[in-house]
Structure 1
Amino acid sequence: MGTFIQLVIDGLAMGSIYAALALAIVLVNQSTGMINFAQGGMAVLSAYVSYAFLGMGVPLILAIAIAVVISFALGAVVERLLMRRFEGGDPDTAVVVTVGLLTLITGVCGMIWSYNNLQFPSLFPGDSFPFLGAAISWRSLGTFLVIAAIMVLLQLLFRKTKIGLALRAVADNPRSSSFSGLPVGRLLMVGWGLAAALGAVAGALVAPRLSLTPGMLDGALVYALAAVILGGASSPIGVVVAAWLIGVLENLGAVYVPFIGHDLKIAVPFILLFVVLLIRPQGLFGRKTVVRV
């Protein structure tokens, strides 16, 4: 029983890493209607910015706060100067641009800070405490609680606030929103800025666990995208639950299903994804899209 609980706890901790990135992807999607493949690279860049300020003697909390502000500005600038040229056109073109942006950011980080593993300090203590025969680290628990809080805040943002509703309206129909008097361009910049700021928080949470490298979120990005599809791109709660589910099932499958093991555990979330999409194409918590003709 202790082994089972430990696997579940470790799966929730790893799922929280996927969820951190998935929430930023959902934020861009809810604000602009597109999937941003560069989100992982922007999160890594923000983690390096925090690391640079740490090297100057700035306290960890303050360094992360500065990185969040810089990331917000960077996200807004990227939308204004780059992505706006492709918005409203072929969605596939915009997606390819974000893939290119991911490659560019990763290369810039490697050029400036090298590709060596760097140690990034954690916001939470590194020791553990016992629970039902398992060991729970304060770092994993802290990451879990932060992600849960961000999930609730994002849900409230998009459901209960004027700016959240405006962001959703712009993502759904920019032209109609413009006719209604909404500042579409400004709202798109805010959406990208908020997603980049959330990415900064994600980078600060993930870097202590994975070690800071330019490609530290490449693998997590795949799982995050799976969580977005599985949970529903319109639901912050859905993607977090899906990310936790992926992390837990991946761990349990690796130990309790002999033919999977640790080598094939990456297939577990995609098998789950295939089964769910056959039943609910919009994802577990997503909304059906109604097209009127």
Structure 2
Amino acid sequence: MDRFIYLTFDGLSRGAVYAAFALALVLIWRAARIVNFAQGAMAIATVYAGYSVSTATGSYWLGFAVAIIGGLVLGAAVERVVMRFVDHSSPLNGVVVALGLVLIIQGVLGMIYGDDYKPAAAPFSRDGFEVGGVALLSRYDLFVFAAVGAVVVLLSLLFRGTSTGLRMRAAAFAPDVSRLLGVPVGGMLTLGWALAAATGSLAGMLVIPTELGLHPNAMDLLFISAFTAAVVGGLDSPIGAVVGGVIVGLLLSYVSGYMGATVAPMAVLILLVVVLLGRPDGLFARSKARTA
């Protein structure tokens, strides 16, 4: 029972990070109807920048701020310079360009920083508080929950309580009508990419201290887990991304704890296949009106 409790809290901590990264994928999907396969590579690029600043200055929080701001800038730049000129007549065009970005970003990072794993320190202790002899959440886990919770609240307020959020939603779902109403669709699209990249950078900064460390490919497995979380919840649902992240985090924790870490990636892929076959629009997808 003690092991089950420990694995549950560990899964919730993992799930919070997956939820943040899944939110980034959902933001891009809602803004541009594209699954951004370059999200992980973009995130690790900003994480490298953040930890470079932290190493040079000795301040983790300055590096943390640089990573988030770098995400905003990189996301906006990718949309303005690259994705805006992609022919969207076929959804595969955006996928191919995003995969090309992955290779470019990872190649550049490898040339600059090398292919060895670099240690990444956490700002708080990762030693769990013991209750009844069972190690539960650590100070770092609490920081992860607080950071992801703040992002969820801020994004909810943005989309539901501000005119900017309303314009972003209108630009995503009815761009032609929005242009006629004076909504700057291009600017809203850029803002969506910037927010998504910043959210991905946050997820990267949160997960890297819990993994092997910094590496150009460090976010690849996280992307698979986060993509599964987004699909489980529904690519159109921010709440679904959070719930999907928790589900994937718990699944990985239980499978790793009881069956071994090598089986965990397979469990995620099986979950992805099951959801795609049974409910491809996700658990929180809105019902569609019949057209025939």
Same fold, TM-score > 0.5, yes or no: yes
Q: Distance in 2 between matches of 1:76 and 1:290?
A: 35
Q: Distance in 1 between matches of 2:257 and 2:201?
A: 33
Alignment gaps of 5+ in structure 1: none
**1:21 correspondence with 2:37:** no
In the TM superposition, what are the counterparts of 1:1-293 in structure 2 within 5 Å? Answer: 1-57=1-57, 59-86=59-86, 88-135=88-135, 136-210=137-211, 211-256=213-258, 261-290=260-289
Q: 1:267 to 1:80 in 2, by over 3 A?
A: same
Conserved 8 A contact 1:230-1:283: yes
Q: 1:104 to 1:4 in 2, by over 3 A?
A: same
How far is 1:39 from its partner? 0.7
SS in 2 for 1:56: helix
What is the aligned-residue RMSD (CA, Å)? 2.1
TM-score, length-scaled by structure 2: 0.91
Alignment gaps of 5+ in structure 2: none
SS in 1 for 2:262: coil
Q: 1:87 to 1:164 in 2, by over 3 A?
A: farther
Letter of the 1:173 partner, please give it. A
Residue deviations 1:218-269 (CA, integer Å, cap 9, x gap)? 011111111110011122221121111112123324555xxx5543332333
Q: Distance in 2 between matches of 1:44 and 1:67?
A: 9
Residue deviations 1:101-144 (CA, integer Å, cap 9, x gap)? 11111111111111111122223223321135421222223213
SS in 2 for 1:287: coil
Letter of the 2:67 partner, please give it. A
How far is 1:64 from its partner? 1.6
Residue deviations 1:13-61 (CA, integer Å, cap 9, x gap)? 2222322221111111122221111110111001111122123215211
Q: Distance in 1 between matches of 2:229 and 2:209?
A: 22
Letter of the 1:284 partner, please give it. L
Residue deviations 1:51-76 (CA, integer Å, cap 9, x gap)? 22123215211222123223212211
Identity of aligned residues (%): 41
Letter of the 1:222 partner, please give it. I
SS in 2 for 1:129: strand
Of 219-228 and 277-286, the range deviating more from structure 2 = 277-286
